[in-house]
């Protein structure tokens, strides 16, 4: 579809319902579908594999990422799991050293047990990625910006490395959302999303997705999607579709509030270090400018001279921000990665990449920026 982002967010995959004309895609709350004769059906047989509400969502997400095919899952982790099932014992995966904690956990605690090897490199260093490729490397898994220290990987440059090595190249695009960044346009074979975050956007759904252009790849992934069955129900698919209709508006507001909150925190005496790719001093700033539409609403700060107790005190001291895991919802959240989202990563490993005990991650929501800044001011005082 040749439409622009906002039009696709509202219409892609969502024709008026053919039987009633309903403008909103109905919640097809059914597990099975009538067949006129065995095998004679309307494209839907059983809802683990296909469901019309989910199909509308998958087509919409594929359009937003400039892909052709979409698969939705009951969580981001189920989507990741589906990709990893393409591998065989002995295969190697090259991935970042600053990953979402759940991705690190499924790599090292689940798939390493099945003979898959994971190599962790700094993906903001393209030469390091190229140097770490071995004859057994079958997959490159990149997250950008990274969670929680917001390092940038050059999606296009790593795509060239992947292409040369004939390796499947996957980008976890959760932090940027399809509004800010489209990895399939920059050489990625596959985009993974935790739909739970910005895409659904209202902290009321857990869901994942895979988006791609290649039909062969789609068929392979669809096999595992249906065979394993981690697919979402129609009610959640409906909620995600409804959330997507304002994705472009929400992302603009997240970015604008992010800019104001980052500017406030930058010179605050309690802030020792701040991570936000919009600063010219951020090492990934130029890459962010090149591949992202704007800099997003995720900010991490290291508190000056705060031990774990003082960090906990500050994290628990907010009125507008909510102390909680997750990100990307309309409401502002504050998170303590070392004990919350990244608790499953060993202390030594996480501290090497900056996930220290006095680091807080902020998901800037779309409330009034003045209220957010006032809340930060009082919590930090
Ligand atoms: C949340 C998240 C995931 C996992 O998604 P779920 O929907 O929680 O299963 C994966 N990657 C990133 C970057 C995330 O933030």
pLDDT tens for 15-64 read 999 899 999 999 999 999 999 999 999 999 999 999 999 999 999 999 99
Kindly state if the Cβ of 197 falls inside 6 Å of ligand 1.
yes
Provide CATH code, domain 247-380: 3.90.1150.10
What's the confidence (pLDDT) of residue 353? 86
Instruction: Give yes or no for residue 1 having a pLDDT over 70.
Output: no
**C-alpha distance from residue 19 to each of 2, 15, 22, 53, 183 (Å):** 27, 11, 8, 14, 37
Q: Where does the pLDDT of residue 345 fall: very low under 50, low under 70, confident under 90, or very high at 90 and above?
A: confident
Q: Which fold has domain 5-244?
A: 3.40.640
What's the confidence (pLDDT) of residue 46? 96
Calculate mean pLDDT across residues 188-217: 98
What's the confidence (pLDDT) of residue 342? 85
Q: Where does the pLDDT of residue 350 fall: very low under 50, low under 70, confident under 90, or very high at 90 and above?
A: confident
* 85 assigned to active site: no
What's the confidence (pLDDT) of residue 255? 98
Instruction: Give yes or no for residue 98 having a pLDDT over 90.
Output: no
For residue 229, the tally of other CB atoms under 10 A from its CB is 12
Nearest to 80 by CA among 105, 63, 44: 105
Extract the tokens encoding 65: 């990422």
With contact defined as beta carbons under 8 Å apart, do 328 and 201 qualify? yes
Residue percentage of the chain with pLDDT more than 90: 94
3-class SS at 276? coil
* 245 assigned to active site: no
Extract the tokens encoding 376: 């930060």
Kindly state if the Cβ of 175 falls inside 6 Å of ligand 1.
yes
Model confidence, pTM: 0.96
What's the confidence (pLDDT) of residue 203? 96
Extract the tokens encoding 276: 């936000």
What's the confidence (pLDDT) of residue 349? 86
Calculate mean pLDDT across residues 54-83: 98
* 163 assigned to active site: no
**C-alpha distance from residue 46 to each of 26, 235, 236, 242, 356 (Å):** 17, 16, 17, 24, 47
Angle, CA 247 vertex, CA 19 and CA 273 arms, to 5°: 160
Per-residue pLDDT tens digits for 293-308: 999 999 999 999 999 9
H runs (alpha helix) in 292-353: 308-315, 347-352
Nearest Cα residue to atom 7 of ligand 1: 76
Instruction: State in Å, rounded, how far the first CA of the chain is from the last one.
Output: 51
Average pLDDT in the chain: 96
Catalytic residue among 59, 98, 154, 172: 172
Nearest to 185 by CA among 198, 201, 173, 196: 173
Calculate mean pLDDT across residues 107-113: 97
Q: Where does the pLDDT of residue 343 fall: very low under 50, low under 70, confident under 90, or very high at 90 and above?
A: confident
How buried is residue 263: exposed, middle or buried, by Cβ count under 10 Å (0-12/13-18/19+)?
A: middle
Instruction: Give yes or no for residue 258 having a pLDDT over 90.
Output: yes
Per-residue pLDDT tens digits for 141-190: 999 999 889 999 999 999 999 999 999 999 999 999 999 999 999 999 99
Calculate mean pLDDT across residues 84-92: 98
Q: Where does the pLDDT of residue 363 fall: very low under 50, low under 70, confident under 90, or very high at 90 and above?
A: very high
For residue 248, which phi and psi values (nearest 5 degrees)? -65, -40
Instruction: Give yes or no for residue 315 having a pLDDT over 90.
Output: yes
Kindly state if the Cβ of 208 falls inside 6 Å of ligand 1.
yes
What's the confidence (pLDDT) of residue 341? 83
Q: Where does the pLDDT of residue 270 fall: very low under 50, low under 70, confident under 90, or very high at 90 and above?
A: very high
Q: Compute, in angstroms, the gap from residue 135 CA to the centroid of ligand 1.
A: 29
Catalytic residue among 17, 33, 44, 48: 48
Calculate mean pLDDT across residues 335-350: 88
What's the confidence (pLDDT) of residue 248? 98
**Where in the chain are the domains?**
5-244, 247-380
- Angle at which helix 76-84 crosses helix 215-228, to 10 degrees, equals 110
With contact defined as beta carbons under 8 Å apart, do 96 and 141 qualify? yes
Shared fold status for 5-244 and 247-380: no
Give bridge partners of residue 260 from the DSSP assignment.
none
Residue percentage of the chain with pLDDT more than 70: 100
* 172 assigned to active site: yes
């Amino acid at each position: 579809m040749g439409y622009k982002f906002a039009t696709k967010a509202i219409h892609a995959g969502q024709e008026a319902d053919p039987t009633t004309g309903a403008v909103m895609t109905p919640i097809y709350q059914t597990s099975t579908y009538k067949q006129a004769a065995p095998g004679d059906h309307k494209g839907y047989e059983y809802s683990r594999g296909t469901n019309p509400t989910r199909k509308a969502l998958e087509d919409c997400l594929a359009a937003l990422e400039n892909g052709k095919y979409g698969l939705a899952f009951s969580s981001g982790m189920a989507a990741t799991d589906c990709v990893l099932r393409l591998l065989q014992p002995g295969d190697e995966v090259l991935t970042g050293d600053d990953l979402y904690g759940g991705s690190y956990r499924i790599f090292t605690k689940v798939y390493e047990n099945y003979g898959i090897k994971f190599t962790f490199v700094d993906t903001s260093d393209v030469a390091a990625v190229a140097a770490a490729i071995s004859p057994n490397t079958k997959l490159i898994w990149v997250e950008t910006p990274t969670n929680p220290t917001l390092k940038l990987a050059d999606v296009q440059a790593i795509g060239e490395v992947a292409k040369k090595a004939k390796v499947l190249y996957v980008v976890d695009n959760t932090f940027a959302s399809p509004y800010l960044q489209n990895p399939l346009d920059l050489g990625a074979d596959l985009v993974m999303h935790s739909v739970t975050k910005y895409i659904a956007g209202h902290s009321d759904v857990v869901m994942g997705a895979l988006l791609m252009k290649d039909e062969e790849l789609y068929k392979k992934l669809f096999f595992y999607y249906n065979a394993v069955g981690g697919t979402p129900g129609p009610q959640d698919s409906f909620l995600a579709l409804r959330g997507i209709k304002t994705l472009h508006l929400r992302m603009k507001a997240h970015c604008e509030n992010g800019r104001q909150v980052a500017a406030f925190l930058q010179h605050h005496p309690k802030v020792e270090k701040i991570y936000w790719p919009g600063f010219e001093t951020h090492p990934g700033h130029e890459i962010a400018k090149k591949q992202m539409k704007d800099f997003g609403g995720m900010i991490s700060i290291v508190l000056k001279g705060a031990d774990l107790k003082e960090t906990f005190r500050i994290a628990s001291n907010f009125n507008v921000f909510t102390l909680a895991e997750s990100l990307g919802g309309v409401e502002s959240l504050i998170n303590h990665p070392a004990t919350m989202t990244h608790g499953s990563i060993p202390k030594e490993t996480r501290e090497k990449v900056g996930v220290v005990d006095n680091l807080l991650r902020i998901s800037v929501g779309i409330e009034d920026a003045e209220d957010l800044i006032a809340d930060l001011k009082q919590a930090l005082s």
